[in-house]
Structure formats: C-alpha cells, structure tokens
Amino acid sequence: MSKSSETISSISALLSLSDSQYRIFDIGRRIDKISKEQFEKIEAAELPYPFPTQGHALLAIAFWQKQSSSPYLWFIKLPLDERGLLNQGARNHFIAIIIEALGENLTVSPTEQQEALLKKNPYHFTPAQYKLAAVNSVVSTSLKQAASKFYAPAQSYLSGENGWDAWQEIGVQGLSDFSFRLNETNNSEILVKAINFVPEQVLVPLCSALENMTLPAEVITQIITRYQQDKANKNNTAAVALLRALASSTQHPISQKFLITLIKDNALEDEVLIIIAGRLWPILNDEDILFVYLEQLIKDNDYELFTAIFKDLVAIPMIRPVILQAIRSPKRSPNLAKAIGILFKQ
C-alpha cells in the first residue's frame, strides 16, 4: 500500500488496500457484527450508526492477511454527530494516525517508536475485561479457530463435575468461550442444568457473555427461573446480571412475555430501568410498551433519570421513530407531558 492518507477516504479502504481480510463488530452495548457493506454505508454517512453508546461508535476490528493465523485487533471509539452519523473528521484523523505510525503494511509488528505513536491515538480504547473476552470468543468462533485453553476447565466446571464451589480455577475467557459455543457438543444442555446452581461469582461473568448470544428457549426459561429466585432473595446483583443475559434474546416469545410483565411492575429499581434501556432496548420498539416504560421512569418524579435515558434511547435508530411518535401522542399522561416539557426546556 503506497497511497497517502489523503487518498484513503475510509477505514474500509485502508484495510482493503493493505490486502487484509477483516471483520467488524460493535462492542458498545453488546457484541454485534456489522457487515462490510453496512460499515461502508456508515462510513459514507449514508446510514446512522445502529448501536450508539453515549454519542460514540465503539468498534472492534479484527484483521489479518491470508498467510496469518492470528488476527490483529483494533478497538476504536469514534464520535457521532447529532443525527447519529459517523464524525468524518475524527475518522479521517484516525486513518492519518494509523498510516503515519504503520506506513504501508498494517500487519507488521510496530517498532517502539511506532508503538508509542499508536498509543497516543485518541480514538483507541481498552474494553472492560468481560468485553475483551467476548471479542476474543466471537473472533475465534467466526474464523473457526480453536477455543482458548480456558474453555475446557469452564465446560468441566459448568458440568458440575467438581462441585459448584470449585470456581476459582476458571476464568472470564473460559466462560465467554463456552457461551459462544452453545451449539457445540451438549453445551446448551450443560448450561440449562448449571444456571440454578452456579454462585454469583460465576453467574455475573457468565451472563455478561450470554448477553451476546441468541439463546434457546430452555436456557431463557432457566434464566427467568433463576432471576425470580434471586429477586425473591433480594440478590439484586445476580438478578440484574440475569436480565442482561437476555439482551440478544428479547424477541423470543418467552423473553417478550417476561420482559413486558417486568416493565409493568411498579416496583422497578433504577438499575433495572437502566438495564432495559442499555441492553434490552428492542423490547421498547412498541409504542404501548414504551409508554409504560416512560411512565416508570417518572413515577418518582426523577426527571434527571428520565432525561438521561430518553437521550440514550432516542439516539438508537431502531427506537428513535417510536419514541418521537410517543412523545407527541395525545395518550401521554400529564406526568409524562411534564417530563417531556422539562426535557425540551433544557
């Protein structure tokens, strides 16, 4: 690749010109694959970013050349404009920094000087441990590579072979690898049996991985059963984690019925309301359900929470038309009308 950054107008072009194969994932709310065609339209400002997180696109890009067996990973945080479109200036700045640091070949090991320049890249970020584990798992499964060395101990533990107290030897990466391989061997059956028994120390990272998977009915049912048990026992940490586990399964009829009933519960804590907006937002893509949810937000006259969540939801392209229609609806309550009025006076 000998072209200057001035002639490279997109990250897609940069990767293609370096003869790299690549995959792109959103890693903000959960791990969602973005197709090359979709990403090209996002870069051209023809599509709003589908999964915005606090006004940014959080991306993981895995790229490799044909002779390479292990991909390189970029974690990129790029700002979006008020319409949800990618900030072109920031994207171009990112490209310029990469080309200045690495030159013609993106897949060479950088020198110390190049490494220092890359570390100064303002668009690079380090994901949380559970998110990094999920990225490693999704990349290895999508490229049909072997799981990490942590997979077998996690599978063995979840099988209950050594007792449920023997969790200290398993890691977040192993739980993530297991979750991304639910369709392999009898992992789904293992998980169904394990959910009710694993301690909170295992349950929380396990659910963080499961939130990226479309789950089978049997697993969803067990998650809901465990949620109800932990909720009754006032174990809110476990209960919230279990809700997150349903993030990629909100459209399943069992999940839908459960979540709609949950949203109608007048005793919802703020943490649950935030999880619904941050992870379970597809369930709100219905005006009637959205109305109930918005009323929940203001039941304690917490206009600060209402404003924060409204701004988060209205940025999601899937939800934006529904929420804009809802705030103009004559069906809104006086309380909701007041909250909307305060929102637009700010």
DSSP character for 63?
A: E
Is residue 343 very low, low, confident or very high in pLDDT (cuts 50, 70, 90)?
confident
Mean pLDDT of 68-80: 89
Distance of CA 189 to CAs 101, 158, 159, 249, 312, Å? Answer: 48, 10, 9, 18, 36
Distance CA 253, CA 260 (A): 10
DSSP 182-223: TTSTTHHHHHHHHTTTS-HHHHHHHHHHHTTS---HHHHHHH
The whole-number average pLDDT for the span 188-201 is 97
Convert the pLDDT of each residue in 268-281 to its tens digit.
899 999 999 999 99
Residue 5 reports pLDDT greater than 60:
no
Calpha distance 169→157 (Å, rounded)? 9
**Comparing 66-80, 221-235, 318-332, which segment has the lowest mean pLDDT?**
66-80
332, burial (CB in 10 Å: exposed 0-12, middle 13-18, buried 19+): middle
Whole-number pLDDT of residue 212: 97
Predicted local confidence at residue 114, as pLDDT = 74
pLDDT beyond 80 at 104? no
Residue 112: band (very low, low, confident or very high) from pLDDT cuts 50, 70, 90: confident
**pLDDT tens, position by position, 260-315:** 999 998 778 999 999 999 999 999 999 999 999 999 999 888 889 999 999 999 99
124 DSSP β-pair partners: 76
Give the model confidence (pLDDT) of 225-237 as tens digits. 999 999 999 999 9
Q: Residue 52: pLDDT band by 50, 70, 90 thresholds?
A: very high
pTM here is: 0.91
Which distant-in-sequence residues (6+ apart) come within 8 Å of 346 by Cβ?
Answer: 307
Q: Nearest 5 degrees, angle CA 218-CA 260-CA 300?
A: 135
Alpha helices in the chain (DSSP H): 11-17, 36-43, 88-102, 112-119, 129-142, 151-158, 172-179, 187-194, 200-210, 217-232, 236-244, 253-263, 270-278, 287-297, 303-314, 320-327, 334-345
In this prediction, residues 36-48 reach a mean pLDDT of: 96
Q: What is the mean pLDDT of the segment spanning 167-196?
A: 95
Q: Tell me: the pLDDT tens digits for 144-158?
A: 999 999 999 999 999
Burial 3-24 (b: 16+ CB within 10 A, else e): eeeeebebbbbbbeebebebbb
Mean pLDDT of 180-194: 95
